[in-house]
């Protein structure tokens, strides 16, 4: 496979290991894949499947198992845990009134979010290019992932996080894995701006999803899910949208799978934003004629982003898949999260935007009863213990909520016996 960085705005090309994050014209870059004669995809699905039986990390990884469409590293160049061995769960139709609904749980990755799928290639790339230090701006999960992979690779990591509003699970990871953590007096969008300026001036590798290399790893969320469905392509793939890295990566994965003859049908992407962090939704609503950043606010901190860097490429994904963009309120997000949590699966708030949005699209009749739907869960329940406990303590002022607060009980056998009998009798 030949790989080259290509500007999505003007088409200018650069070597894949340039390294650069934008074209001279300011446009975003893609890793363009060009098939060579030696690339034979006629039995690739078999090759991918068989690798699961291997004991090598490169074959076990749910990213590197699909390496033909990711990157061609030598085995010893790859920094992996290995990641991407995540499950796809069928969920009851009581949650979403369609014939078949699944959740793909990327919270089952080594650091608890899908960011690991991008970080394994990103950190491997940084190492190969000889960088000593990596950097990112993060609402939390990117910093947790970057910190872990940098530690594994022996690289220095610096992460910029917004002032306040970072979930404790994520912050504790970045600190524990040893990243230098700089809390900037501003929001995510300010942090994102700052790291781009710093990375342009110093020899530091930037690992936000602005970096097109990272998205090559995130494409495997789509590839892996389709494999788990036995290559029966669903009608819908629903995902939360923040910086729109996944939206970009999934569209690109689908274009390539189609071009290389690995799939025939393409699912519609449905990107879900929080109501008060909805610049992509607004742009979609005006036919992508105008894009205007917003000041973002939502309980789903992972998608609390008002100026998504991947806008240009994400738009292409919606157009290619004839997709849609929807918005949901924080209350809808937390109620949907509670439903996913009660299945014993669980997720962090941003992930539940997938189910909340799918419900809305189903009510509007955009998703049909006979459709098959995959919803992406982006992060683990333990990432944001604050939001989960506040919900279950009834602190979020959501009238429809059914909290599950701990009860105080006296330490006497009689009292305990009485309460247990009541619970036994409860339905
Ligand atoms: C990063 C992240 C998102 C947002 O993904 P984008 O690719 O930036 O749109 C959503 N949910 C979780 C849990 C995340 O960590
Ligand atoms: Zn350009």
| Residue 217 Cβ < 6 Å to ligand 1 | no
- pLDDT (tens digit per residue) in 277-317: 999 999 999 999 999 999 999 999 999 999 999 999 999 99
Q: What angle do CA 197, 199, 184 make, to 5 degrees?
A: 60
- pLDDT (tens digit per residue) in 380-414: 999 999 999 999 999 999 999 999 999 999 999 99
Indicate which atom in ligand 1 lies nearest the CA of residue 243.
8
**Mean pLDDT, residues 39-49:** 96
Element (H, E) at 136: strand 133-137
Best CA proximity match to 182, nearest among 225, 238, 136 = 136
DSSP designation for 244 = -
- pLDDT (tens digit per residue) in 376-387: 999 999 999 999
User: With 90 as the cut, is the pLDDT of residue 6 above it?
Assistant: yes
| Residue 112 Cβ < 6 Å to ligand 1 | no
Q: Please state, rounded to an integer, the average pLDDT across all residues of the chain.
A: 97
| Residue 350 Cβ < 6 Å to ligand 1 | yes
d(CA 276, CA 235): 28
User: With 80 as the cut, is the pLDDT of residue 165 above it?
Assistant: no
Beta bridge partners of 6: 13, 30
Residue 368 alpha carbon to ligand 1 centre in Å: 26
- pLDDT (tens digit per residue) in 198-217: 999 999 999 999 999 999 99
| Residue 351 Cβ < 6 Å to ligand 1 | yes
Distances (CA, A) of 410 to 217, 414, 418: 53, 9, 11
| Residue 240 Cβ < 6 Å to ligand 1 | yes
What pLDDT score does 243 carry? 97
Indicate which atom in ligand 1 lies nearest the CA of residue 114.
15
Mutational test site, ligand 1, from 107, 188, 243, 353, max ligand atoms within 8 Å of CB: 243
Mutational test site, ligand 1, from 114, 220, 273, max ligand atoms within 8 Å of CB: 114
| Residue 303 Cβ < 6 Å to ligand 1 | yes
pTM, 2 dp: 0.97
Cis peptide before 72 (omega within 30 of 0): no
* Strand pairing class (205-206; 180-184): unpaired
Indicate which atom in ligand 1 lies nearest the CA of residue 347.
13
User: With 80 as the cut, is the pLDDT of residue 88 above it?
Assistant: yes
Q: How confident is the model at residue 222 (pLDDT cuts 50, 70, 90)?
A: very high
**Mean pLDDT, residues 75-95:** 97
Residue whose pair of structure tokens reads 């494999």 in the numeric block: 227
- pLDDT (tens digit per residue) in 232-279: 999 999 999 999 999 999 999 999 999 999 999 999 999 999 999 999
What pLDDT score does 426 carry? 79
**Rounded to a whole number, what is the distance in angstroms from the first to the last CA of the chain?**
59
| Residue 108 Cβ < 6 Å to ligand 1 | no
Residue 246 alpha carbon to ligand 1 centre in Å: 7
Domains and their CATH numbers in the chain: 88-110+215-392 (3.40.50.1100)
Find out whether 292 and 282 touch, Cβ atoms under 8 Å: yes
| Residue 245 Cβ < 6 Å to ligand 1 | yes
d(CA 158, CA 213): 19
Beta bridge partners of 31: 5
Nearest CA, atom 14, ligand 1: 302
For the chain, give the percent of residues with pLDDT over 70.
100
Find out whether 67 and 54 touch, Cβ atoms under 8 Å: no
d(CA 71, CA 214): 11
Nearest ligand for residue 114 CA: 1
Indicate which atom in ligand 1 lies nearest the CA of residue 350.
11
Residue whose pair of structure tokens reads 């742009």 in the numeric block: 283
**Mean pLDDT, residues 38-65:** 97
Residue 29 alpha carbon to ligand 2 centre in Å: 8
């Amino acid at each position: 496979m030949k790989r080259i960085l290509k500007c999505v705005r003007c088409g200018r090309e650069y070597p894949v290991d340039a390294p650069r994050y934008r074209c001279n014209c300011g446009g975003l870059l893609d890793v363009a894949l060009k098939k060579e004669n030696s690339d034979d995809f006629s039995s690739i699905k078999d090759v991918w499947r068989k690798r699961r039986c291997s004991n090598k990390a490169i074959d076990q990884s749910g990213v590197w198992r699909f390496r033909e469409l990711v990157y061609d590293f030598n085995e010893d160049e790859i920094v992996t845990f290995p990641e991407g061995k995540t499950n796809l769960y069928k969920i009851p139709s009581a949650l979403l009134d369609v014939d078949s609904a699944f959740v793909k749980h990327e919270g089952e990755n080594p650091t608890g979010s899908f960011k690991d799928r991008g970080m394994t290639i990103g950190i491997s790339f940084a190492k190969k290019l000889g960088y000593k230090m990596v950097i990112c701006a993060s609402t939390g999960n990117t910093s947790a992932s970057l910190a872990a992979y940098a530690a594994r690779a022996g690289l220095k990591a610096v992460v910029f996080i917004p002032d306040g509003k970072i979930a404790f699970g994520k912050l504790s990871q970045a600190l524990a894995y040893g990243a230098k953590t700089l809390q900037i007096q501003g929001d995510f969008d300010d942090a994102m701006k700052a790291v781009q300026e710093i990375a342009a001036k110093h020899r530091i590798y930037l690992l936000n999803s602005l970096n097109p290399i990272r998205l090559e790893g995130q494409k495997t969320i789509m590839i892996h899910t389709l494999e788990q469905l036995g290559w029966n392509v669903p009608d819908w793939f629903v995902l939360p949208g923040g910086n729109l890295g996944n939206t970009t990566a999934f569209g690109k994965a689908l274009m390539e799978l189609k071009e290389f003859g690995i799939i025939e049908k393409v699912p519609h992407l449905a990107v879900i934003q929080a109501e008060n962090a909805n610049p992509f939704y607004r742009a979609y609503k005006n036919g992508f004629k105008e894009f205007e950043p917003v000041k973002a606010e939502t309980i789903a901190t992972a998608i609390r982003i008002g100026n998504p860097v991947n806008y240009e490429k994400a738009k292409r994904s919606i157009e290619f898949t004839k997709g849609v963009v929807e918005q949901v309120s924080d209350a809808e997000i937390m109620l949907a999260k509670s439903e996913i949590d009660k299945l014993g699966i669980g997720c962090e708030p941003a992930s539940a935007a997938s189910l909340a949005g799918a419900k809305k699209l189903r009510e509007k009749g955009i998703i049909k009863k006979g459709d098959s739907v995959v919803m992406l869960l982006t992060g683990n329940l333990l990432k944001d213990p604050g939001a989960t406990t506040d919900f279950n303590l009834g602190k979020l002022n959501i009238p429809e909520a059914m909290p599950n607060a701990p009860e105080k009980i006296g330490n006497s056998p009689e009292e305990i016996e009485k309460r247990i009998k009541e619970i036994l009798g409860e339905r």
